[in-house]
Chains A and B, each alone.
Chain A
Amino acid sequence: DAGVIQSPRHEVTEMGQEVTLRCKPISGHNSLFWYRQTMMRGLELLIYFNNNVPIDDSGMPEDRFSAKMPNASFSTLKIQPSEPRDSAVYFCASRRQGDTGELFFGEGSRLTVL
């Protein structure tokens, strides 16, 4: 079975540009999570969805960040405009509600903002 699929794997952009990260959760999973990982702050939860509905976006750092989940098989995280401090690895994870609680992570999108 395919795992969580994220794209792009690496993104280098200049400050002020728009960045869109994409995620395809595991088929049948109904909860989707966006995390950001940096050396300083570790893994931080940004936002999560249940059945395509955003449940909690309190971790989104600023209005420059937005996330959508238009259907059960696709989600985007957008940063506009991007800043150097947004440089991090962004992970998408999914799970099926009612299972053990394990989150399955994608391979991550490494973002560098120059």
Chain B
Amino acid sequence: QKEVEQNSGPLSVPEGAIASLNCTYSDRGSQSFFWYRQYSGKSPELIMFIYSNGDKEDGRFTAQLNKASQYVSLLIRDSQPSDSATYLCAVNPGDAGGTSYGKLTFGQGTILTVHP
């Protein structure tokens, strides 16, 4: 079982719709969770992070975390063609003994296409 799993897609949604991206992780002790966006040929850039169970909203983006189910999701409201990219879920295993130093384990990414 992979440590961080995502549906590779591609996920195609019409402009203006809600895009829902999902991620599961295997390490129950994981502490923090990140969503990165990567445009083709570019480097990953952070969209959101979440530490606590529940929802966290930032503009058109909402991250949702359920630690009991080991599940993280990202909702993109009012999707735009400029949102078309690969979305990477990343997990920090936590600072057990202070040894993780913030290393992130990434999922394979979900390709999102928003069509006009």
Enumerate chain A interface residues (CB-CB to B < 8 A): 31, 33, 35, 42-43, 45, 48, 50, 55-56, 91, 95, 97, 100-103, 105-108
**A96 vs B51: C-alpha distance when bound (angstroms):** 18
Please state if B101 and A97 are interface contacts (CB–CB under 8 Å). yes
The chain B residue with its CB closest to the CB of A49 is: B101
Please state if B101 and A48 are interface contacts (CB–CB under 8 Å). yes
**How close is B97's CB to chain A, nearest CB, in angstroms?**
12
Would A50 and B104 be within 8 Å (CB), given that A106-B43, A107-B42, A107-B43 are in contact? no
The chain B residue with its CB closest to the CB of A6 is: B43
The chain A residue with its CB closest to the CB of B99 is: A55
Supplied contacts A43-B109, A55-B101, A101-B32, 9 more A-B pairs, CB within 8 Å: A42-B107, A42-B109, A43-B106, A50-B101, A91-B44, A100-B49, A101-B49, A103-B44, A107-B42
**How close is B5's CB to chain A, nearest CB, in angstroms?**
11
Among residues 20 to 64 in chain B, which have CB atoms less than 8 Å away from a CB atom of chain A?
A: 32, 34, 42-46, 49
Selected from B32, B49, B104, the residue in CB contact (under 8 A) with A45 is B104
Offer 14 A-B interface pairs, CB within 8 angstroms, sorted by A: A31-B101, A31-B102, A42-B106, A48-B101, A48-B103, A55-B99, A56-B103, A97-B101, A97-B102, A100-B49, A101-B34, A102-B49, A103-B90, A108-B43
Among residues 99 to 116 in chain B, which have CB atoms less than 8 Å away from a CB atom of chain A?
A: 99, 101-109
**A50 vs B98: C-alpha distance when bound (angstroms):** 12
**A97 vs B99: C-alpha distance when bound (angstroms):** 11
**How close is A91's CB to chain B, nearest CB, in angstroms?**
6
Is B88 in contact with chain A by the CB < 8 A criterion? yes
Is B92 in contact with chain A by the CB < 8 A criterion? yes
**A106 vs B42: C-alpha distance when bound (angstroms):** 9
For residue B109, which residues in chain A have a CB less than 8 angstroms away from its CB? 42-43
Please state if B42 and A45 are interface contacts (CB–CB under 8 Å). no
Please state if B45 and A105 are interface contacts (CB–CB under 8 Å). yes
**A74 vs B24: C-alpha distance when bound (angstroms):** 35
**How close is B9's CB to chain A, nearest CB, in angstroms?**
13
